[in-house]
Amino acid sequence: SAVISQKPSRDICQRGTSLTIQCQVDSQVTMMFWYRQQPGQSLTLIATANQGSEATYESGFVIDKFPISRPNLTFSTLTVSNMSPEDSSIYLCSVGTGVYEQYFGPGTRLTVT
Amino acid sequence: AQTVTQSQPEMSVQEAETVTLSCTYDTSESDYYLFWYKQPPSRQMILVIRQEAYKQQNATENRFSVNFQKAAKSFSLKISDSQLGDAAMYFCAYSWSGAGSYQLTFGKGTKLSVIP
C-alpha cells in the first residue's frame, strides 16, 4: 500500500476563484488519479495523471477547468478553476499499484459560496 | 462500457451479526478485478477486499469475505461479527486488467448502519 496526503483537507472558496489541491505520496508511483465525489454520490474519475505526459481527462471534464500537474513520481496537483457552487464536492487523489488496486488520499472537501 | 450496480442504498445490521451487501456488474471482459471499498464519515476510502476474476476461490480478509459468481456477474460482500466501526458507505468497484490504465468504475454505494 501507499501513504497519501492531501492539502488542504477542506476549504471554503468564493465563486469565480481557483483552488489548487496537492497530493503527496510516500513512494514513487506511475499512475495517479483524481476523483470527484459530489454530495451523497459515488466517485467519478476526473483524470489520470502520469508523470512526464499530459493528463488524460474523462468525458465531461476539461483541462481548462481542471488543470493537472504531475512534476514527479510522488506528487500531483489538481486545480479547480473559475469555481461555481456546482463544484462543491470532495476531491480525492489515488495511486495505482501493480495489482490494479488503488489507494486513496483523505480527500479535500471544497465548498463554493 | 462497464457498469457496477449496488441495489441496496441502505442496510442495517445488529452488532455481532452478519450482513451481506450486493453488487452486480456488467462487462464483456474475462480478466478483471473487483474491489470493495469502505468510506467512513472521515471520507477516507479504505480498500476492504480484492478479487481477481481468474481465481475461483472467494477472497477473505478476516471478518470480510466475498461471494464471487462470475457467470452471474455478482460480487457480494459478507461482513461477519459486525462491529460499530463497520458503519460506513461501502462501494463496489471494477477494474479491467486489459485497459492498462487501472481505472476504477464504482457503484453508487450502500450505506451500512450498525445497531448496538
DSSP character string of chain B: --EEE---SEEEEETTS-EEE--EEE-S-SSEEEEEEEE-TT---EEEEEEETT--SPPEETTEEEEEETTTTEEEEEE-S--GGG-EEEEEEEEEGGGSS--EEE---EEEEEE-
Looking at residue B100, its pLDDT comes to 61
B8 CB within 8 Å of a chain A CB: no
How far CA B45 is from CA of A42, B13, B26, B39, B73, in Å, comes to: 11, 21, 23, 5, 24
Structural domain count, chain B: 1
Average pLDDT score over chain B: 92
Question: How far is A96 from chain B, CA to nearest CA, in Å?
Answer: 6
Instruction: Report the DSSP pairing between strands A108-112 and A89-96.
Output: antiparallel
Domains and CATH numbers, chain A: 4-112 (2.60.40.10)
Has residue A109 got a pLDDT over 70? yes
- pLDDT tier for residue A99 given thresholds of 50, 70 and 90: low
Q: Which residues pair with A112 in a beta bridge?
A: A13
Residue B30's pLDDT band (boundaries 50, 70, 90)? confident
Instruction: Give yes or no for residue B99 having a pLDDT over 90.
Output: no
- Give the pLDDT confidence of B51-68 residue by residue, as tens digits: 999 888 999 999 999 999
- Report the phi/psi class of residue A9: left, alpha or beta, with left for phi > 0 and alpha for psi in -120 to 50: alpha
Domain that holds residue B53: 3-115
Q: How far is CA A18 from CA A15, A64, A81, A112, in A?
A: 8, 11, 4, 10
Residue A15: the pLDDT is 97
Q: Which residues of A touch B (CB under 8 A)?
A: 1, 31, 33, 37, 41-43, 45, 48, 56, 90, 92, 94, 96, 99-104, 106-107, 109
Model confidence pLDDT, tens digit, residues A7-63: 999 999 999 999 999 999 999 988 899 999 999 899 999 999 987 778 999 999 999
Residue A5: the pLDDT is 96
Of residues B101 and A21, more confidently modeled: A21
Question: Quick one: pLDDT band at residue A96, thresholds 50, 70, 90?
Answer: confident
Of B42, B47, B91, the CB nearest to A101: B47
The CATH number linked to B18 is 2.60.40.10
